[in-house]
Amino acid sequence: MFRKLLKWILGLGLVMLVVLVFCFGYCWYLSGHIEERFSGRRWEIPSTIYSDTTLLFPGKQVSRLALEKKLKKLGYQAKPRSPEEKGEYHPVDTGLEVFFKDLQIPDKDRPGFSAVLEIGQGQIREIRRTGADKRLPLVELGPEVLMEFFGKERELRRVVSIETIPEHLADAVIAAEDNRFYSHFGVDPIGILRAMYTNLRHLSIRQGGSTLTQQLAKNYFLTPERTFRRKFHELFITLAIEANYSKDEILEIYLNEIYMGQKGSAAIHGVGEAAYFYFGKKVENLTLAESAMIAGIIKSPNVLSPYTHPEECKDRRDQVLRAMHEQQFITEQQLSMALEDPIKTAGFEKYSRRAPYFMDYVSQQLDSLYPEDILSSMGFSIYTTLDTEVQAAAENALKNGLARLEKSIPDLRRDDPEKKLQGAVVVMHPRTGNILAMVGGRNYANSQFNRITQARRQPGSCFKPIAVAALLDTFKPSDPLSNEKTTYQVNGKPWTPKNFGEFPGEKLSVRDMLRLSCNRAAVDMVVRGGPEKVVEQAENFNFSTPMRPYPSIALGAFEVIPLELARAYCAFAADGIQPFPLSVRDVVDENGNVLVQRHMDIHSVISPAKAFLITSMLESVVTDGTAGALTRQGITFPLAGKTGTTNDFRDTWFIGYTQDFLALVWVGFDNGDPVGTTGSGAALPIFAELVKSVPGQISHNSFTIPPGVVEKKVCRQSGELPVFLKCPETYEEFFLESNQPQKKCPVHGKDSVFKKAVDGVKNLFN
């Protein structure tokens, strides 16, 4: 009997030894995998694309309502009293009191501060610091989130370290989820027994016995399935984690991993992202009550969300606060004050892709730098040039403009979404090339084809200024051009250009040719000046589409990419300097290191003097030419522009610019159906609505006359220097210093008077 008992004990001991060896070995095996996982990149963090910042300065045109709307988009909260914390503002009779958030962008790290913005008569009058007589010349608002490169799990996360997590948040999580966290070894037998007792007493599941480490093991390494095999793995992973990492390290990983709710289709993970999602602030700035709320919703984020179940959320928060008091994390006074604190969320918009055509353009540029899996996992911050105010204005202007056209011309309506009337808008800063807005079509959901960057369309009369720029060494703005009906031989075939409408007189000056968009005069200039020079100038302007030296090049017969056409016009606004279209400013990794920094890429394509002459002539287009409707609509600031319409009204255009703002608008059908109106009737009203919607973007400064330009009075009929008291009509015109009038007017000069007298005598004898 004794031998049998001894044998049984030895056998049991051997089995236990084998089990212990197996457990130890399995834990050691798991430790290697856990170490490998934790020592590497722990989470896939989506890269975030941001808009440009917004500058506020005295004199900027903006309404208080528009500024409040902007602040709300940036997560600022309106308060009935003066703001006390960063991210708050208070409307007052004279403007706004704002406690600006910290600004952390590449090359700039500015702490938040409180200031008063006085706003009146549609503009910012003054900015001064609160409580100090210090006036500020400029304040910069942070960028808006435009898009995120999600991985397959679509997780949003901001990784925070244990040092930045406030003590009361860590205490709240421990009180709510695992009050013996710092005393157990990963599995808490006491907690399990307590949970079993509570559940049996209430005959329902009221408590769970899982520790924070067990929750971490389950969420980080295992699937949600409820099987014995999974629980077995969870146990050993828990023990391996506890054996290899300190409690603070485990808590830090847990607080960054835990699921905290849903933002549309994107999942919120970690307390860092939760702090922004629920309260619009950094985790280190959370109050005691806010920390308790975040800790409370861990139990069931969607059921206890303050956005969907505010009463249940408050009840759960109060439970956590009382648990913190019971466990002596907070005092009676702190408990009382926190219980009185109402839950005030930041509010949020469901994740949506903004400025989709621009985002596609940015993504294409980023694809050349980083693979998709890098962008969806490395947590880059990508700062762009997009101005969200201008983007919204461009989208609305295009939408409204196309609807007006279809209403006024019913033949333009199409039921098939793929065949509808289309349009496109791009807005740029002409000196830097920064793309402020891009709308590549009427509806991104129906068509992802970007008509700004991918379409090839005939520019029509919008190409005439480029032709003039090529020939300014030959022709002066006052030189007369032929408006007579003329037939040219092109490749052995006759071709006769036609005008849109009637133009009085047999001759027009170069300026009037652009002002009135006279086709015959434009072709006459190019034929006499040399179409080869125009092709050469087009190549210098970096058009990628091929062009031939035919007379029809004067009328924009060769296709261009709209973005390249806008870029060409930038040179006219920027003293002949053409920038590269810039959409991405900086790419920054999650540690704040700048990986890519795009600076302006510019080069000279024409002289400043020639650029000014083109601009001056295009100002005439707006003041009393084909774009004169802009003046009638109240747009009176210095503006240069050009309308464009192709044969059979297939493409309609307007391009307008100031010194610091350029917008191109195209309207047409993808299949080339006629629009039935001109650029001034289709595209120009869209431009007008756009610029009226963004008054703060327009500086109202006049174009500056550069060196190399002279101004002289000339005879309107001949374009030469006037003869004193003989030329009936004269005007002031700008010229290149190297190509200015040198001779007197031949029409009204001495030779002309003598010839007229002789002709008169001859007529008497005939």
- What are the tens digits of pLDDT across the range 420-439? 999 999 999 999 999 999 99
pLDDT the model gives residue 150 = 67
Same domain, 479 and 457: yes
List the catalytic residue out of 97, 148, 177, 252.
Answer: 177
> Does 20 fall in a domain?
no
Same domain, 243 and 138: no
> Does 3 fall in a domain?
no
pLDDT the model gives residue 208 = 47
> Does 752 fall in a domain?
yes
pLDDT the model gives residue 725 = 82
pLDDT the model gives residue 207 = 46
Domain termination residue (choose one: 111, 142, 173): 142
Tens-digit pLDDT profile for residues 726-753: 899 999 999 999 999 999 999 888 655 4
Q: How far is CA 203 from CA 177, 195, 275, 303, 671, in A?
A: 21, 12, 36, 21, 70
Of residues 147 and 140, more confidently modeled: 140
> Does 371 fall in a domain?
no
Mean pLDDT of the chain: 86
Same domain, 577 and 443: yes
Which tokens belong to 313?
Answer: 């959320």
Same domain, 315 and 422: no
What band does 250 get if pLDDT is binned at 50, 70 and 90? confident
Domain termination residue (choose one: 651, 673, 697): 697
Domain containing residue 115? 53-142
pLDDT at 762 over 70: no
Same domain, 584 and 729: no
> Does 445 fall in a domain?
yes
Same domain, 651 and 571: yes
Least confident window among 39-43, 82-86, 521-525: 39-43
pLDDT at 17 over 80: no
Q: What is the Cα–Cα distance from 690 to 757, expressed in whole angstroms?
A: 58
Tens-digit pLDDT profile for residues 110-126: 999 999 999 988 889 99
pLDDT at 235 over 70: no
Residue with tokens 């800063």: 429
Same domain, 488 and 637: yes
Task: State the total domains in the chain.
Answer: 4
What band does 686 get if pLDDT is binned at 50, 70 and 90? very high
What band does 21 get if pLDDT is binned at 50, 70 and 90? low
What band does 43 get if pLDDT is binned at 50, 70 and 90? low
> Does 94 fall in a domain?
yes
> Does 18 fall in a domain?
no
CATH number of the domain encompassing residue 133: 3.30.2060.10
pLDDT the model gives residue 588 = 87
pTM: 0.82
461 is catalytic: yes
pLDDT at 135 over 60: yes
616 is catalytic: no
> Does 111 fall in a domain?
yes
542: left (phi over 0), alpha (psi -120 to 50) or beta: left
List the catalytic residue out of 461, 552, 680, 718.
Answer: 461
Domain termination residue (choose one: 142, 163, 192): 142
pLDDT at 705 over 90: yes
pLDDT at 23 over 70: no
Same domain, 137 and 167: no
* Pair 317, 345: CB distance under 8 Å: no
Q: Which of 196-200, 517-521, 629-633, 724-728 is most confident?
A: 517-521
Same domain, 556 and 674: yes
* Pair 80, 90: CB distance under 8 Å: yes
Same domain, 754 and 652: no
What does 474-515 look like in DSSP terms, one character per residue? T--TT-EEE-S---EEETTEEE----SS---SSEEEHHHHHH
pLDDT at 38 over 90: no
Same domain, 472 and 574: yes
Q: How far is CA 78 from CA 63, 87, 118, in A?
A: 16, 9, 17
Which tokens belong to 509?
Answer: 């000056």
CATH number of the domain encompassing residue 185: 1.10.3810.10
Same domain, 669 and 556: yes
